[in-house]
């Protein structure tokens, strides 16, 4: 057995993968988020450890005793500040904390080469601006900070006593020279830190130490090796076999991610694309992130009075695209790629007396697809060659959305069995690689194909002028969004 642990935002998940590479069992334990002030989002770092113990111990005892290795994945960007005794100095500041907008601009002033080094625009979600905020607003905490760890790496510290972080997760800190796959002294200096504050940078498939004896007893697991692991999306990619250049996945969760593996560092920061290291050696990845994906369907379901999302999508399918269908901008929570605009908001354009609830439902499905199309254009602009695209996430179960997405992106979409397991399964695969040294391509295979959805030529033709209007609407409304939000 191989154990994968995913330190998420709402829960810690633990899965067991057997020697045949199949999911054998899984457990989880919940986490809570603290929001003490507007824009703040924090968690007690030690709650990750408590939940990890609970999730692992929920797995069958006999299977835990046969674990050969452990891999880690987790939420990215969270700033966990430790003192000289490796104790947390304050609650961890999470990926979705928005307090450090001013520090983002300051960071790019302090190091003008920031985007070239990191491949990314400085955003409040990243780790480095959070440390500048602490430096300004909690100087006594900053002065006591001896180590900064990401969430899964704090769990690693508890497991092994070692301080290490993998390349994919490190890429989301804005302290990594992503092209060189090493810490950037220039970016650390801009934040008032040095390499001494950072964990050892490792590849995701590399071993990073073994379980401490007392932890092994607590978890009921042998003293096995712990792999470097990966950030949640990179580990998910490993779990669905997206490991070679050109392979990609489309994640239909609350938010949306288009993830493509690249053969080298291919940044496009001006369009708010992320260019990160993959969690396997010698490859990188790009991500286009949209902040509202499946959650837009939940929203229109409630708005239109449907019972559930299945009924909503069925109504959209029956109605279809027609002259009454509005254009929908899906920016309910602002937008990341390509606009980097926290003030952007949702818009229905073209409403009339004849517009029906089913028209709204269809336009939401199409609007999210157009947002993904914006993202794929940004990735291609940066040099990505996109081949097979695997669809993952809970909303992958909505079959009618597939042809709309495929037609908007103009690529075939592949749906696979078990595509919703997530980062924990990829982490288990990374654990296996750390223990055995096997070829990642042989271990990180894609699950069995359940169906392939091709672009629909007639639908592509219908959608083309609507996509142009979609793009123009945002450009025309950008200033108005900012004025409305202030």
Write down the pLDDT at residue 421: 66
Write down the pLDDT at residue 314: 96
Write down the pLDDT at residue 254: 81
Write down the pLDDT at residue 270: 87
Show Cβ contacts of residue 439 under 8 Å, excluding neighbours closer than 6 positions.
none
Q: Could you tell me whether strands 389-392 and 413-416 are parallel, antiparallel, or unpaired per DSSP bridges? A: parallel
Write down the pLDDT at residue 477: 96
CA angle (394, 400, 403) in 5-degree steps:
105
Task: Domains for the chain: give ranges and CATH numbers.
Answer: 2-234 (3.30.420.40), 241-418+456-486 (3.30.420.40)
pLDDT beneath 50: ranges in the chain: none
285's tokens: 């990845």
Write down the pLDDT at residue 382: 84
Q: Which residue is catalytic, options 232, 341, 374, 388?
A: 232
This prediction has a pTM of: 0.89
Residue with tokens 């006999």: 62
Return d(Cα 236, Cα 390) in angstroms, integer. 11
pLDDT in tens, 32-48: 999 999 889 999 999 99
Burial class (CB in 10 A: 0-12, 13-18, 19+), 149: buried
Write down the pLDDT at residue 341: 86
Write down the pLDDT at residue 315: 96
Note if 439 is an active site residue. Answer: no
């Amino acid at each position: 057995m191989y154990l994968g642990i995913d330190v998420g935002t709402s829960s810690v998940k633990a899965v067991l993968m057997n020697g045949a590479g199949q999911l054998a069992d899984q457990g989880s334990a919940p986490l809570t988020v603290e929001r003490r002030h507007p824009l703040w989002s924090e968690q007690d770092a030690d709650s990750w450890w408590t939940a990890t113990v609970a999730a692992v111990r929920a797995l069958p005892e006999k299977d835990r005793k046969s674990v050969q290795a452990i891999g880690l994945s987790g939420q990215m960007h969270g700033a966990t500040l430790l003192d000289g005794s490796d104790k947390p100095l304050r609650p961890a500041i999470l990926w979705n904390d928005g307090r450090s907008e001013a520090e983002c601009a300051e960071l790019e002033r302090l190091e003008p080469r920031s985007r070239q080094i990191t491949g990314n625009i400085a955003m409040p979600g990243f780790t480095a601006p959070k440390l500048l905020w602490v430096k300004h607003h909690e100087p006594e905490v900053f002065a006591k900070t001896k180590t900064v760890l990401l969430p899964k790496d704090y769990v690693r510290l508890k497991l092994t006593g070692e301080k290490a972080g993998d390349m994919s997760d490190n890429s989301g800190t804005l302290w990594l020279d992503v092209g060189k796959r090493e810490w950037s002294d220039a970016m650390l200096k801009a934040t008032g830190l040095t390499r001494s504050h950072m964990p050892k940078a490792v590849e995701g498939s590399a071993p990073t130490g073994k379980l401490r004896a007392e932890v092994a007893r607590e978890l009921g697991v042998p003293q096995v090796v712990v792999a470097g692991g990966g950030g949640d999306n990179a580990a998910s990619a490993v779990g669905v076999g997206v490991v070679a250049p050109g392979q990609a996945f489309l994640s239909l969760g609350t938010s949306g991610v288009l993830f493509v593996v690249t053969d080298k560092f291919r940044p496009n920061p001006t369009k708010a694309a992320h260019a990160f290291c993959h969690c396997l050696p010698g490859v990188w990845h790009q991500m286009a992130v949209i902040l509202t994906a499946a959650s837009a369907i939940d929203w229109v379901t409630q708005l239109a009075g449907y019972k559930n999302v299945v009924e909503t999508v069925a109504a959209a399918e029956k109605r279809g695209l027609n002259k009454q269908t509005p254009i929908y901008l899906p920016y309910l929570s602002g937008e990341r790629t390509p606009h980097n605009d926290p003030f952007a908001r949702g818009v229905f354009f073209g409403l009339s007396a004849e517009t029906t609830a089913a028209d709204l439902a269809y336009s939401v499905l199409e609007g999210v697809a157009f947002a993904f199309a914006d993202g794929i254009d940004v990735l291609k602009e940066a040099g990505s060659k996109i081949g097979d695209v695997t669809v993952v996430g809970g909303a992958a179960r909505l079959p009618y959305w597939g042809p709309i997405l495929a037609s908007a992106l103009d690529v075939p979409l592949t749906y696979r069995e078990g595509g919703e397991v997530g980062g924990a399964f990829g982490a288990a695969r990374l654990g296996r690689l750390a223990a055995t040294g096997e070829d990642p391509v042989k271990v990180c295979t894609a699950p069995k194909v359940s169906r392939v959805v091709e672009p629909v030529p007639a639908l592509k033709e219908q959608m083309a002028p609507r996509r142009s209007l979609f793009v123009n609407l945002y450009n025309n409304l950008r200033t108005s969004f900012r004025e409305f939000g202030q």
